[in-house]
Structure formats: C-alpha cells, structure tokens
Amino acid sequence: MNPAAAGSPAVMSEGVTGQNGLIAMPNRAPRPRLLRRSLSRLLGACLLLPSMVSLGTRPEINRLAIVETGFEEGLKGWWKDGAAEFAIDTTEKHSGKSSFRLTVPQGTKLSYQKLSLDHTTDIGPGDIFNLDTWVRSNGLTADPGAYCVVEFLAKDGRRTGIVHSLTGRANGSTRWDQLRIRGATAPKGTGAVRVSLILHAHGTAWFDDVKVERTSKGQRLPELGDVVRKATVHVDDVVHPCFGGVGYHVFYHLHETTSRHLNTTLLKHWRELNPAFVRATHNWEWDDQKREYVAEQMAFWKTTGTEIYLTTWNPEDATTPAERLTYAKRVVDMLEYFVREKHLTNIKTYCMTNEMSLKGWGKLRSDLPKFRDYHRKIHAELRARNLPIQLLATDAAPVQSWHTIEWATQNMNEVTGVYGGHHYFNKHGPDDEQFYRWFLDRLSWGTQLARDKGKDFILGEFGSKQDGRTVNGVKLDKCVYWDTPREPQVAIQLVDAVVAALNAGVYALAYWTFTDFPDDYRKTYINKWGTFKWSGTDFATRDVYYGFGLLSKFLRGPAIVYRVSGNDPRVRVAALRHHGANTWSFAAVNRNARPVDLSLELGGIAPTSVALRKYVYDPTSVPQHPFGDLQPPAGTVAMVNSQLEDTLGPSTITVYTSACDGTPPAPVEGLCVSRPPDGDVVLSWRPSPAPDLCYYRIYRTPVANTAPSLNARIGSTVATQFRDINAPVDQPTHYTIVAVDQSGNPREAR
C-alpha cells in the first residue's frame, strides 16, 4: 500500500488475467515440480450445476470473438478520438500486409489520442476478456507512451471499469513488443465493451494483429436448495507442496511504544493470531538503535516460526548505475547484519521498494529497466556474500499493474527468486458472491506466470475497499467499511480471498495490516487498517480479527495444499495438511443465505479417521473479546473413514482443524507480588516451560481461591512480569496467573 496515496488517480480500476498453477521456489527445501493443469481447468469457472467441479478452476464457456484484425481491411468499425494522424501503413508491420499508424505531432496537446472499437451485443457483468496486440514506436517523448485498454461501459455510456496493458514509452521502442491483457472482467452494470489503442506522447506508434475475445460469459450462481453440499479433497492432486502461510503486513516495529503496550497488546495478539508469514517494512536509513530494536522484533517473530518478506519504504533514488551499486551495498550490509549477526534466518525474501515506488507511488511502473538494475546489483551483492535471501518482483498494485510482473518474468528472471503483487477490492463489496471467482482468476494468472519460470507467487498485500478521502485536511487511509453495518462482512470477503489464494497455488499472503498506525503518526494522515486499534485504552479488536485471525492461526505453513472440488460454487473450501505433524486444516466459506449441510471427503487416500475442532465466525454475532482472545471451538466434528458431515451456518466462516491438542501447559510457578510504597503492584513469575505457550492471563479478586472469570481479568501478557496500575488500596487482593497454549488450553496457578 501507498500510505500517502491510497485512492489517488494513479490507482486505476480493476482487471487482469486468469490461469492457474504453482511450482518450486529456490532457497527453500526442495519440492516436486507440479504438472501443468490442462487449459480447460486453468481458465474455467465453477459450473453452475450441482455436479462436482474444481473450486480452484473454471471451464471455458461462451467464447466470443470481439475483434481480430491486422488492418488489411482498413479501419472499418473503428472510430478516432483526438488530434492526431490516423493511417494504415503498408511499410511498417508485424505480419501480413499492413498495420495501423498513430502519430501525435510535436506541439499537439496530449489527450490520450486513440483508435477505438465498441461491441454492444451480448455483453454483461462477469464476462471475461483477453486482448493481444503488437506495438512498435518511434520518437516517443513521455510516459505512458503507446498502450491499449479494455474499457467497460453501462448502456448509457458511463464507464464501469477499465483495464490497461503494460504502459511506458519503452513499448515498441526497439522492436515489435506484444501487449496483453488477461482476464479483464466486466463489473456490475456493464452492457458494452470498448477496445482502444492509445498514444499519450508525441511521436509515432504502430499497432498490428489485434485480437480481443470474451473467454467466459458471466453466470448467476445456482440456488441448490436442500441439496447436500459436497466437497472432495483430492489428495492425489497437489496444488502447492509447500504453502508458506497466511499472515499480515507488519508496521508496528517502526513506531515507538511502551513495553506494556508491546507485551500486553502487540505481542499478545501476535501469538494469538500466530502468523507463519509476514511482509514487513524496511528502511535503509535506520540508525544503530532503531536497527537493534527491529532485530529484536524479528527475533520474536522467529520464535513463532514466522517467515519474513522485507520491502523498503522510500528507497534512495540512485540516478546512475554507480550510485545504485553503492546503495545496493548499503542495503545488503543491513540484511547481512540481520542474518549473520542476529541470526534472523527467517528473512527469506526482499524487494527494493513497496509497490514500484521511487520518489512517488508506483513511479517505477514506467521505468522497469531501472527497477531491474536495482535488483541486479542487490542480487550480485547477496550472491557475493552468500546470503540466502531471494528477490521478489515486482510488488506492484493494483492488479492492472501486474503486467509489470509479466515483464519481470521475461526480462529479469535470472535475478528473481519469487514473483508477487498486491490488490485491494475497490470494485467488489464484501457481500459480492462473485468476488471469489474474479479473484481466483487474477491469482491463477499470477501463479501461472511464476510457475512457468519454476517459481512461486506471493500476495504481499490485500484488503477490502480503500477509503482514501481527505476530510478536514486529514487523509483517511482505512477500510471504508469500518464502523459501518458492513464491517462484519469484511472478514467473509478476506477469507474468500484466502481460499482463492490457496486454490490458485499462491505461496503465501499478507493482509494489510496487523495493527493500525498510532493516532499521532502524522497530523494530516491516518492509517487504520489493522485487525486491532492503536488507540484508546483497550486497543480494541475489529471484527476481522475473529474471522481472518482463524486462518492465520490454523492455516499455517509449511503445508501441502490439495485441490478441492464441490457441487456448490457458493461453498468455497480450502484444504491443507501440515508438514511434519500430519495434521489437517480445512477452511469453508458458505455464501448461501441459509444453513447448508456439508459432506467433506478425502479422496485418493486410505480411510482416515480424526477428531477435528470446529471454529466459526458468524458476522451476525461477532465474538468480540475485551482482551482479544480468539473464540473457543464451537465443538468437535469427527471425520470417519475420510468423511466429515456437518452443517454450515448462513454466510459464515468455518475452520476445521486437527492442528491442536487438548493438553494445557504446565502450571505457572513462582508467583511473587510486591508493592513499593506509593507504587503499583508488580507481579512476576517463572516462565512456563510449555513449548507451545501463547500468553498469560492475569486475574485479580478480593477473595482467595476464586475461580478465574472474565470480570476478574485485568490483563494479558507474553512477559513474565505485569504491573497492576489500578490495584485497589487498603483492600484484600489476590492474584491468579493462567498460562494459555496455542491451542487455547488454559492452566492456572497462584
């Protein structure tokens, strides 16, 4: 995310591509290369029938050719817009006998001069389109240069969405370059599609071999009534052999705070949500004191088995190759300090900038060779020092900027260890049941790009609709649904996104963000995306904490992700088996507005019986907790002979897992209570020896040997000391310490 520019004009409408796939990734344990799925599975959608189809792929239906031309028949059907020269050229062409030439003379006002074609027959919401064309250019003076777009229109001509190809004055500057748009999806209200070949620069561009087709027709999801919803986990069909985990972008290490806030809120919630993967902000200008503090936090993350992807905010704009080499050495100096001196071997991935930003958000999208040169020099330094950190390309946002990832696969694969991008769901409401299909397509295209190069794809940031308004001089960088009746639904959409990511073969993903920025971060800017707040006296949790948090806690990596098929596209299921422990976790989203019976089966495996804890998030009854404890299990469901039978509540998230135990940690020992004159009561105790300790609960009662209750609870902490700042004076006071493990099992001691 761009903290200063969310919602800026540079953030365009949604769109881009759709396929599927996954493959091995360097710098991790070896894993088997997966066979590419057939094209029909890669590009298809859930059939709107109660038959079993893959929840991670879609069959192609209702293909429709919009245009296919090499301009041999002139410009019939096209229309011109803007002051420019529009002509057929028989000398410069990609193939055939001619091409289309567009020239904007020097001195002409730039106004996105373009050649366009409209198609208004049989076009509707959910239709998916691909575009291919070739471009050649000469003498272009500015970005975005020559490019193409697919634009969606309502019946009254109002734009409902737009998708861009790769932009930049370099397009076609040295050769014929291919421009592509994949999976452009018509938003709600669409009744027509427009294709435009655009030149927004002085100079000349040629376009040839234009092909646009609808690959899939939008369909309404079926109403299946009382039919049992079936989901089959195909254990013989691996989507990802080493899934990294569900996690968060983390920013809290940049902000000053108290040790009390750190131990009782930030780190307590960290252990409670237990992410296996995080994307974290890096700053190349940290001084020694700040660098040491950041290293301490990353060391804490290492204790929870959390893999780290670092990306730099506000990198230095090194204008020459020599300056970039100096900068690369400085960045790698810090990475080497973290890995070698602080033993932070959980740092696995690095990118030189957030969302292609350099002296402005997203600026490197139009100077990809410069981005490549930064990474080439950083890569050379990493290799020279034998540091096992891979580089990610390109970290671009939103999805219509993922063409930069395609460029990276073609032009800098030799220095790239993993690919990735970001997206916020600005065109899809949290109750949009079609969102899953749309996002699955986007992610499948990205994972296939990476897989074709033998590498993985990371979804580095994602979230629901951005606000982005400026109110009373303050930029509001937050989810637009916070503190509205739609807030509880956000967790449903985010978990839809996670299930889509797992079924598309994404390696790991990070929700923006773990916690808010502090209130006093900047007078003219607030960032309020967190699962809990950095304000007030209780640092209250948001509803998303109790929905998305279940997935970061239980859908941990490393794990094997399997293909899931089902008979209801409104019931989305992801399935994984955790490495080592051989435990299972399943996530199910029910988008039906009614309860449905679920029959989940493990296919292609010997009969398996296991007891699974069941956790539920119901947006009509969010289990808010004053100390941010995740909800307890709703019960236990038995899988017998590889089959689970249960009922899913309407519009709910359900997680089934055997990645837990019923044994509480050993009792806490050595509790000491002291109260200096005119001071607070200070409690201390010996650390719990439990290897899966999560945190401690602290209770205060006026009567000894009182059973702990929520009303008596005064705090939580990951430390072995707690200061009671509100202890009563001249009254009997008794304290109880309860150790809680990662499975939520408590064990008390006094």
Q: Which of 264, 257, 298, 258 is nearest to 719 (CA)?
A: 264
Q: For the structural domain made of 64-216, what CATH number should be given?
A: 2.60.120.260
CATH superfamily of 672-749: Immunoglobulins (2.60.40.10)
Right CATH for 39-60+245-557 from 3.40.50.300, 3.20.20.80, 3.40.190.10, 3.40.50.970: 3.20.20.80
**pLDDT surpassing 60 at residue 2:** no
Closest CA to 602 of 660, 553, 643, 556: 643
- Model pLDDT for residues 395-406, shown as the tens digit of each residue: 999 988 898 999
Could you tell me the pLDDT band of residue 285, with boundaries at 50, 70 and 90? Answer: very high
Higher per-residue confidence, 537 vs 354: 354
Using the structure block, give the residue that is written with the tokens 């195909």: 234
State the chain's mean pLDDT as an integer. 90
CB count within 10 Å of CB 8 equals 13
39-60+245-557 against 64-216: fold identical = no
| Tokens of residue 428, six digits | 């899809």
Residue 348 has pLDDT above 60, yes or no: yes
Q: What is the mean pLDDT of residues 490-494?
A: 98
What does the pLDDT average to over 596-614?
92
Contacts of 580 (CB under 8 A, 6+ apart): none
303-330 pLDDT, tens digit per residue, is 999 999 999 999 999 999 999 999 999 9
Q: Mean pLDDT throughout 520-540?
A: 91
How much is the pLDDT for 57?
55
Q: Bridge-partner residues for 662, per DSSP?
A: none
Please report which confidence band the pLDDT of residue 106 belongs to, taking 50, 70 and 90 as the band edges. Answer: very high
The 10s digit of each residue's pLDDT in 53-101 is: 677 654 445 788 999 999 999 999 999 999 999 999 999 999 999 999 9
3-state secondary structure 670-712: CCEEECCCCCCEEEECCCCCCCCEEEEEEEEECCCCCCCCHHH
Domain ranges of the chain: 39-60+245-557, 64-216, 563-657, 672-749
Please name the residues in contact with 385: beta carbons below 8 A apart, sequence gap of 6 or more.
332, 336
35 bridge partner residues = none
Q: What are the b/e assignments for 395-433, b being 16+ CB within 10 Å?
A: bbbbbbbbbbbbbbbeebbebbbbbbbbbbbbbbbbebb
Residue tagged 């073969």 (tokens): 505
- As separate numbers, helices (DSSP H) first and strands (DSSP E) second, the chain gives 10, 38
Instruction: Average the pLDDT over each of 352-356, 447-451, 467-471 and give the range with the smallest value.
Output: 467-471
Fold of 563-657: Immunoglobulin-like (2.60.40)
Contacts of 130 (CB under 8 A, 6+ apart): 17, 180, 181, 182, 183, 184, 212, 213, 215
* Residue-level pLDDT at 235: 95
Locate tokens 């598309």: which residue?
A: 504
Beta bridge partners of 200: 145
Task: List the structure tokens of 658.
Answer: 């055997």
* Phi, psi angles (nearest 5°) of residue 573: -130, 135
For strand 596-603 and strand 229-250, is the pairing parallel, antiparallel, or unpaired? parallel
pTM recorded for the entire structure: 0.85
Chain centroid offset of residue 719 CA = 31
CB 67 within 8 A of CB 211: yes
d(CA 26, CA 33) in angstroms, rounded, equals: 12
Q: What is the pLDDT of residues 675-720, one digit of tens each?
A: 887 789 999 999 999 999 999 999 999 988 888 899 999 999 999 9
Contacts of 571 (CB under 8 A, 6+ apart): 229, 231, 588, 589, 590, 591, 592, 596, 598, 648
462, 522 contact by CB (below 8 A): no
Query: What pLDDT shows up at residue 47?
Result: 31
Of 131, 146, 114, 128, the C-alpha closest to 43 is 128
The C-alpha atoms of residue 47 and residue 603 are separated, in whole angstroms, by 21
Model pLDDT for residues 365-394, shown as the tens digit of each residue? 888 999 999 999 999 999 999 999 999 999
CA quadruple 555, 560, 564, 569: dihedral positive or negative?
positive
Helix (H) or strand (E) holding 68: strand 64-69
